[in-house]
Structure 1
């Protein structure tokens, strides 16, 4: 399967097996949608037993089994937790004991939105499923967990809150995806952004009021580079595409507009809460490294119990699905007569909507070892500097 070829720098990252002397944080608490879900979907929607994410080929690359992650292997939160010296963050609905949550909890659910279904009904864009999980629900679960972890005195959780990292997202993508797929006019969808940002902001404020001291808040990915959208809005007009990437220009601009509003809102929150560290995670910028430098190679540890280097050769193509152009067709990954590529690590997308493990690894490297967190996450976790110094970066040029 061929993809758009672009000449440019090829960055090869070889990471040594190094761990920080101690974890920067005692726990990670995560909120969001399918980009962060580590298994909640199977519990929250237990009646949806035919959901493809619950079965192989999902999870086949790293876990060798479906874990409820919407990818072929590890996702961003897995790489973040590992780099911080913590175990993978367990799904909230997977356990009910304090011991189970010793390393934190993940409240993210595939399909979740920032805003409630009521908001969309009120604004003339009702969701197909009124049971859609949203941020207010995830916050309710978090409050319930606090009661479990601190049964006698919730105020006594202050040390835990101080020492925890709160990952607030990615969230908001489905507030746009679901209306897009339902055929809601783009002009109407654009008007949802201020409300999405306001909900993310109020959630951050609630977490701070509960004692959170360090929050990592992601922006949206460049949705104009998502294969499903590239296929859905395929155009004969050259001006609709970014010449450097082949991504849809107008959709990426929409993502950038969302992210700019979010960055401005986070700056206001910093002014209101000077004792709290609020870090913007530039998922957009980190992901664009894949599309601007399409043959980016990264070390992918522990795959088939052997370190190796994989090259993302097809950044705009889905590995699992079908179709010749972007790897998407009427057959969805895990449903119908779908096809799976021979090597998922060569693809930027897993199923046409979600990044591959290789893409997640590139984004994680950009956040944890690159320049895509503001302020740098290393400021609040100096141990990450040790990992950077133990890594070898080589830049090659494919001219």
Structure 2
């Protein structure tokens, strides 16, 4: 990456690493205000939408998967928001994009969540994975065509360790569980399949675009650190049980979600790795972000391309999708 007076971070996903670690401001949501103004000021823009998918609703609905919460807000829609809000309002869009850090993911998880949580088999949704990956690669390609030079692309988290899946797919067959972590083996294999295919496609993309920094972020193995050894990271109440939820072995109840009046919240969230069944706690995300920014869980290593000393010289974080 080339040092600049400001850096733009553009993302199509929730943010799972800590911008303040890089001496950058927290990233504002796209709907909060003027995206182009925030980007030029180095304040950051987040285009993420809760429950959004990589694939468009037409693809999913044709397969009986419905997302009533964020219908028609897919990765392609977020990319179009970026085009309209930034490139239509900035005089030198290509310069701004060239000096931006794009975070493309973690996305694709909701394509699988919506299907699995409504009863689709894991074998059936395995057929979605190549389409999800192609959608991500296509979006990266479009950004590169606009001038992007640095793109951070995370893989998916280990869904077999999710309190939601551990509850909904509970079985008395002990062979379905990992002896060390207690996670569901089949679901974690699925996450690894998604990640392996993504890595393969990113390698191919690098060959076509050797002048672009494509950084793969290994969310899966960064998270598996505390699923394997929760006590080592301060998770005294374990890594599987949700802090906030509706009761049960893993404090997850699909009828009583976190924030429901009858749900309960733990007293010490930082001693839990799981927040609400599907999302992790801030303490868990801190472990992941540190592992990505300082450790070996990105390819190439993030701090080899963007040393902390260099990033702290930059004034801000401009655009976040």
Aligned: 1:191 with 2:127: yes
Aligned: 1:140 with 2:76: no
Taking a change above 3 Å as real, the CA distance of residues 167 and 119 of structure 1, as seen in their structure-2 partners, is same
Other-structure match for 1:29: 10
Taking a change above 3 Å as real, the CA distance of residues 164 and 335 of structure 1, as seen in their structure-2 partners, is same
Other-structure match for 2:116: 180
Q: Give TM-score scaled by structure 1 length.
A: 0.73
Other-structure match for 2:315: none
SS across alignment from 2:279:
coil
Other-structure match for 1:89: 27
- Distance (Å, rounded) in 1 between the aligned partners of 2:310 and 2:10: 23
Return the offset for 1:139: 0.4
Return the offset for 1:133: 1.3
What is the total number of aligned residue pairs between the two structures? 307
Q: Which has the higher helix share?
A: 2
Using CA pairs under 8 Å that are at least 6 residues apart, name the structure with larger relative contact order, 1 or 2.
2
Return the offset for 1:185: 2.6
Aligned: 1:277 with 2:213: yes
- Distance (Å, rounded) in 2 between the aligned partners of 1:188 and 1:92: 34
Q: Deviations over 1:300-358 (max 9, x none)?
A: xxxxxxxxxx5453200110113241111232111141111010001111111111001
The RMSD of aligned alpha carbons is: 2.1
- Distance (Å, rounded) in 2 between the aligned partners of 1:193 and 1:312: 35
Aligned: 1:362 with 2:287: yes
**Unmatched runs of 5 consecutive residues or more in structure 1:** 1-21, 37-74, 298-309, 388-399
Other-structure match for 2:316: none
Say if 2:35 and 2:45, in contact at 8 Å, map to a contact too: no
- Distance (Å, rounded) in 2 between the aligned partners of 1:201 and 1:97: 24
- Distance (Å, rounded) in 2 between the aligned partners of 1:230 and 1:353: 10
Q: Deviations over 1:76-113 (max 9, x none)?
A: 24x1x222221111101110264333222111110000
Q: Which has the higher strand share?
A: 1
Return the offset for 1:130: 7.1
Q: Give TM-score scaled by structure 2 length.
A: 0.90
Mapping 1:184-263, distance limit 5 Å: 184-263=120-199
**Unmatched runs of 5 consecutive residues or more in structure 2:** 313-321
